[in-house]
A and B are shown apart, each in its own frame.
Chain A
Amino acid sequence: MKLHVSTTVNGEAMEFLCAPEHSLLDALRDQLNLTGTKEGCATGDCGACSVIFDGRLVCSCLVLAAEASGRRIETIEGVAHGTELHLLQKKFLEHAALQCGICTPGFIVAAKALLERNPDPSEEETRYWLAGNLCRCTGYDKIIRAVLDTAAELRGETR
Chain B
Amino acid sequence: MLDEIRYEAPSSLARAIELLGEEGARVLAGGTDLLVQMRTGRATPRLFVDVKHIPETSRLDLGKSELWLGAAVPAAAIVEHAEIARLWPGLVEAIDLIGSTQIQGRASVGGNLCNASPAADTTPALCAVSARCVIAGPRGQREIAAEQFTTAPGATVLAPGELLVGFRIARPPARASDAYLRFIPRTEMDIAVVGAGVSVALDAAGRCSSARVAIGAVAPTVLMVPDAAAALVGSRGEDAALTRAGAAASAAARPISDKRGTADYRRKIAGVLVRRAATAAFERARGGGSA
Contact = CB atoms under 8 A, between A and B. Distances in A.
Contacts of A64: 7, 28, 31, 35, 48, 50
Nearest to A53: B105
Nearest to A114: B101
Contact of B48 (A20, A43, A44, A53): A20
B38 A44 contact: no
A83 B174 CA distance: 58
Given A62-B32, A64-B35, A19 B5 contact: yes
A128 B96 CA distance: 11
Given A44-B99, A56-B76, A64-B28, 12 more contacts: A1-B5, A3-B7, A20-B7, A43-B40, A44-B36, A44-B103, A59-B102, A64-B50, A67-B50, A110-B101, A132-B103, A132-B189
Interface string A42-54: 1110010010010
A150 to B, nearest CB: 17
B105 A56 contact: yes
Nearest to B52: A67
A58 B9 CA distance: 19
Contacts of A113: 101
Given A43-B36, A62-B31, A62-B36, A132 B7 contact: no
Interface in A34-78: 42-44, 47, 50, 53, 56-59, 61-64, 66-67, 69
Nearest to B99: A132
Interface residues of B, number: 29
Contacts of B102: 44, 47, 50, 57-59, 110, 132
A23 B189 contact: no
Interface in A70-128: 110, 113-114, 128
Contacts of B6: 1, 20
18 contacts: A20-B48, A21-B45, A44-B99, A53-B105, A58-B102, A59-B103, A61-B35, A62-B30, A63-B31, A64-B7, A66-B50, A129-B101, A131-B100, A131-B101, A131-B189, A132-B102, A132-B189, A133-B100
Of A42, A62, A128, most buried by chain B (CB within 10 Å of CB) is A62
Interface of B: 4-7, 9, 28, 30-32, 35-36, 38-40, 45, 48, 50, 52, 74, 76, 99-103, 105-106, 188-189
Nearest to B80: A117
A44 B101 contact: no
A43 B100 contact: no
Nearest to A20: B7
B7 A128 contact: no
A61 to B, nearest CB: 7
Contacts of A131: 100-101, 188-189
A58 B36 contact: no
B5 A20 contact: yes
Interface residues of A, number: 32
Contacts of B188: 128, 131
Of A47, A67, A114, A128, most buried by chain B (CB within 10 Å of CB) is A67
Contacts of A129: 101
B105 A57 contact: yes
Of B4, B9, B31, most buried by chain A (CB within 10 Å of CB) is B31
Given A56-B74, A63-B106, A132 B101 contact: yes
Nearest to A54: B105
Nearest to A66: B7
Contact of A132 (B38, B45, B100): B100
A21 B105 contact: no
A43 B39 CA distance: 7
B7 A23 contact: no
B219 to A, nearest CB: 27
B7 A58 contact: no
Contacts of A110: 101-102
A129 to B, nearest CB: 5
Nearest to B74: A56
Given A62-B106, A64-B7, A131-B188, A57 B32 contact: no
A66 B50 CA distance: 10
Contacts of A50: 102
B282 to A, nearest CB: 27
